[in-house]
Amino acid sequence: MLSPMLSLLMLALPLLSGVVHTVPGLALERAGIVGGQEAPSSKWPWQVSLRCNFNFWMHCCGGSLIHPQWVLTAAHCVGPNIMSTELFRVQLREQHLYYRDHLLPINRIIIHPDFYKPQDGADIALLELEDPVNISRRIHPISLPPASETFPSGTPCWVTGWGNVHSGEALPPPFPLKEVRVPIVENHLCDANYHTGLSTGDNIHIVREDMLCAGNSRRDSCQGDSGGPLACKVRGTWLQAGVVSWGDGCAQPNRPGIYTRVTHYLDWIHCYVPEYP
């Protein structure tokens, strides 16, 4: 168990009001962008906004298009118990939230069976869209990595989303998609960092093998966009290394952002999602 000092963030962020709400069944987690800038409109064509039904279709999590009919996101965005597909919609890549919405219905939600809470791992879920989307230069899937890819320190990686710009400070209108380059932190170092200031024994792994760390005290994900992609360029190709999962605050010393490691779950993903070129 983690110390109570490890205060986690509520993921749901109603950008129009600045008040934090939660969706029934959602966990206490994080995501968003600190230390970044508005993303160019031509970048990140796989980025999606997961919308939750709070009297209107409010942005509550991020996600990524990995196939014309499948979105990858965090399990805590839609679980741990499978929720009704009627509570969610998917908005494909848009530069500003709410301005040109065309929300897509979801046919099926698949949560990893080992998921209970993000700190225990398996924070990954799949959303099957009712219909395949039209692939174009503006909207197309991100590639999944080969199982052998480790994403060592120094790999150029970016996290994108519509979350808070600082702890407790919501993204202001017109709610642009933001991006920030984040450094990969090796798991053993990340785990040692998370033990700093805690009474947890060193033999207890906070950062598990199905997790990946990225970020520092200047650049990080933050509250508002769990489930979004950590995209890394490897040999000229953008690959999804991680899914934004959890962390302690935003851009705090010794507290990199923690992501679900996609390579750990490739077999599970391909049980449902066909290979896509």
- Residues designated catalytic: 76, 123, 226
Q: Find out whether 238 and 142 touch, Cβ atoms under 8 Å.
A: yes
Gap between the Cα atoms of 226 and 9, Å rounded: 10
**Strands (DSSP E) along the chain, which ranges?**
37-38, 47-53, 57-67, 70-73, 88-91, 104-111, 125-129, 157-161, 178-182, 184-185, 211-214, 229-234, 237-246, 257-261
Torsion angles phi and psi, residue 60, rounded to 5: -125, -20
The DSSP output letter for 194 is H
Indicate the SS3 state at residue 244. Answer: strand
Measured in whole angstroms, how far is the alpha carbon of residue 58 from the centre of its chain? 16
Enumerate the β-bridge partners of residue 159: 180, 230
Q: Which residue has the tokens 């986690």?
A: 8
Enumerate the β-bridge partners of residue 47: 64
Q: How many CB atoms lie within 10 A of CB 223?
A: 28
> Closest Cα to residue 46, out of 141, 154, 177?
141
